[in-house]
Amino acid sequence: MVQIGTDVQKAKEFLMQGDLIGLPTETVYGLAANALNPDAVLKIFRVKNRPSFDPLIVHTDSVDKVQTFVTAIPELARRLAERFWPGPLTILLPKKPIIPDLVTSGLETVAIRIPNHPMALRLLSMLDFPLAAPSANPFGYISPTTARHVSEQLGNRIPYVLDGGSAQVGIESTIIGFAEGGPIVYRLGGMSLEKLEALVGKVSVRSHSTSNPKAPGMLSSHYAPRKPLLLKTPAQALVNYKPERIGVLAFEEITPLVPVEHQQILSLAGDISEAAKNLFAAMRALDAFDIDVIVTELLPETGLGRAINDRLRRAAFKG
């Protein structure tokens, strides 16, 4: 199995050799490689079985470094960076040729963020290259929020996972760009629309694409457990399934209709941020149960509830 540890120097050495590592961030764990090395980046696509038309996010540790990878930082983008970096916000910016086309899937923009995780920032500060780092999971499956999740999913396909504890946000970063003049959110995530709009005004949301996405994480089917996940109430599911064959992913309340050991509650306090932090781990736990189906209902469409609902809709069974 992959080695798990806290040795930042060892992680650096693997990256400098062109290898991949599991990278802790505040959102989810990333599968990281030298973003300027196309051979290393290609390993990401192979290990994840990720389609090459789905672009990657580039991670670094300072705005000064960002300026070496992009041709310009528009005023609105600069304001967002100054306010929300480090943090769960990715910004699409026009790229310089130094960023390989493989990273951006041929697009003229590159998705960049500065993660808000001390271990990730320490590693990035030690490198003279940025890291391409999508979530460290097989493509389309639930994103990992602990080093153990990475190990369970990727096994010995990578040499090292840097263990930075549980991800504190628990869902991927929000992605924002500035095509057509105004700000556009291409992926709902760990930075709420309310916070963005308080700084830059009204933003539009364009978060789904079935092919050739304009930004990472836009594909309409994603984040899915292996068992079917249905957007239904437990009562609706009982029409077709026995109670003991149903798993429930609930926001804040246990249902008496299904065995309690087959239920995962995201936040007994009804806290949406806590629910976001627990989402992927709860989905993963249910996927491991001896059940036939997982049922869940959408959360309130406020704050990070929008991003949670986005993940649930994309994970939902399409059959």
Residues comprising the binding site?
A: 27, 50, 59, 109, 113, 133, 135, 143, 173, 187, 223
Q: Which one, of 85, 45, 37, 80, lies nearest residue 65 by Cα?
A: 85
Binding region for L-threonine: 27, 113, 133, 173
The values of phi and psi at residue 30, to 5°, are: -105, 160
Q: Using DSSP bridges, classify how beta strands 229-231 and 293-296 pair: parallel, antiparallel or unpaired.
A: parallel
Q: How far apart are CA 70 and CA 51, in angstroms?
A: 24
Binding region for ATP: 50, 59, 109, 135, 143, 187, 223
Total residue count of the chain as it appears in this document: 319
Tokens (6 digits) for 254: 């246990």
Q: Which one, of 216, 175, 208, 188, lies nearest residue 307 by Cα?
A: 188
The Cα angle at residue 28 between residues 91 and 268, in degrees rounded to 5:
115
The Cα angle at residue 91 between residues 86 and 96, in degrees rounded to 5:
110
Q: Interhelix angle for 147-154 vs 272-287, to 10°? A: 30
> Are 138 and 31 within 8 A, CB to CB?
no
